[in-house]
């Protein structure tokens, strides 16, 4: 096994990420422009439907909505792709000896590059809408890093389970549809009131990541440092746990592929 973070390990991970990024949308007419078009089209639909009710009282609702759409889309698309990457590259996974987690990591990194491009687009739109960016926006790379770690450890766990249970793909698609409405993308977290809905939203990691970005970009305030550190620590711990469990079960992958 190649030691983690060795030069060979990092070079392999980089090559996989670069290759996936280059191949992504390669056969489409607009190519990389889909990084901008996808969130804009989704924003247009959601803004048209929800702006008159859910958007009431929310400043810069279009930007509020766009940030939520971009972060949720990154999570849903990347974890779905990371879940099936080992099986979609079955020949490579079975016949070649290398640390298989680099396939998941490379996939997540490639999709996160597209996510960063979309966030830069959000910054440009925010400025165009008259939002004055302030010093707290410099903390945005930390939010991006936390989102990367979150998506990565979720993808690690999903990729393990998917090898043994192929029905997980359909189950996960249903889960993502429910998660969309359980995440404050087009409404304020306070909108659901008290009860189980409030508990679900508070326990949703995406809620905090999206709210961090909105606080930095729209409100121009520093987020809660306690919540920021807690989110960072939790994602770091779960990421290392995910890698450890992945390596524990990796020797059995070939017989199930």
| Distance from the first to the final alpha carbon of the chain | 20
User: How do the pLDDT tens digits run along the chain, 257 residues long?
Assistant: 555 556 777 777 777 777 777 776 666 555 567 666 777 777 777 777 666 666 567 888 889 999 999 999 999 999 999 999 988 877 777 777 778 888 899 899 999 998 998 898 889 888 988 898 899 999 999 999 999 999 999 999 999 999 999 999 999 999 999 999 999 998 888 888 777 888 899 999 999 999 999 999 999 999 999 999 999 999 999 999 999 999 999 988 878 77
What range does the domain containing 157 cover? 7-256
* pTM given for the model: 0.88
pLDDT at 45: 76
Q: Which pLDDT score is estimated for 52?
A: 64
pLDDT score, position 55? 59
Compute the distance between CA of residue 19 and CA of residue 58 in angstroms, rounded to an integer.
41
DSSP code of residue 216: I
64 lies in some domain = yes
pLDDT score of 197 = 83
- How many domains does the structure of the chain reveal? 1
Q: Hey, how many other C-beta atoms are within 10 angstroms of the C-beta on 48?
A: 9
d(CA 24, CA 108) in angstroms, rounded, equals 12
Count CB-CB contacts under 10 A for residue 19: 12
125 belongs to a structural domain: yes
The H or E element containing residue 134 is none
Beta strands, E only, 79-129: none
pLDDT for position 78:
94
Q: Is residue 2 included in any domain, yes or no? A: no
Q: Using an 8 Å Cβ cutoff, are 59 and 218 in contact?
A: yes
186 in a domain, yes or no? yes
Asked if residue 1 is part of any domain, the answer here is: no
* Contact by Cβ (8 Å): 63, 137: no
In a domain, 164, yes or no: yes
Q: Contacts for 124-128 with beta carbons within 8 Å, 24 or more apart?
A: 125/62, 125/63, 125/66, 126/60, 126/63, 126/217, 126/218
Q: Is residue 49 part of a domain?
A: yes
């Amino acid at each position: 096994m190649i030691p983690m973070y060795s030069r060979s390990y990092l070079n392999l991970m980089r090559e996989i990420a670069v290759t996936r990024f280059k191949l992504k949308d390669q056969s489409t007419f607009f190519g990389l422009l889909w990084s901008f078009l996808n969130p804009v089209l989704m924003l247009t639909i959601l803004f048209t439907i929800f702006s008159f009710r859910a958007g009431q009282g929310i400043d810069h609702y279009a930007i509020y909505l766009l940030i939520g759409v971009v972060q949720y889309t990154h999570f849903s698309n990347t974890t779905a792709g990371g879940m099936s990457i080992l099986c979609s590259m079955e020949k490579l996974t079975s016949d070649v000896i290398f640390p298989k987690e680099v396939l998941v990591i490379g996939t997540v990194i490639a999709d996160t590059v597209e996510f960063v491009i979309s966030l830069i687009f959000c910054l440009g739109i925010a400025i165009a809408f008259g939002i004055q960016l302030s010093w707290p926006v410099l903390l945005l790379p930390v939010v991006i890093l936390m989102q990367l770690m979150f998506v990565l450890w979720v993808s690690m766990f999903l990729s393990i389970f998917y090898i043994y249970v192929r029905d997980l793909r359909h189950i996960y698609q249903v889960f993502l549809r429910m998660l969309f409405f359980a995440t404050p993308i087009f409404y304020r977290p306070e909108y659901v009131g008290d009860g189980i809905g409030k508990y679900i939203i508070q326990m949703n990691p995406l809620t905090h990541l999206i709210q961090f970005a909105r606080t930095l970009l729209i409100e121009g305030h520093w987020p809660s440092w306690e919540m920021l550190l807690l989110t960072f620590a939790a994602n770091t711990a779960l990421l290392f746990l995910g890698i450890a469990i992945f390596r524990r079960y990796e020797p059995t992958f070939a017989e199930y592929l």
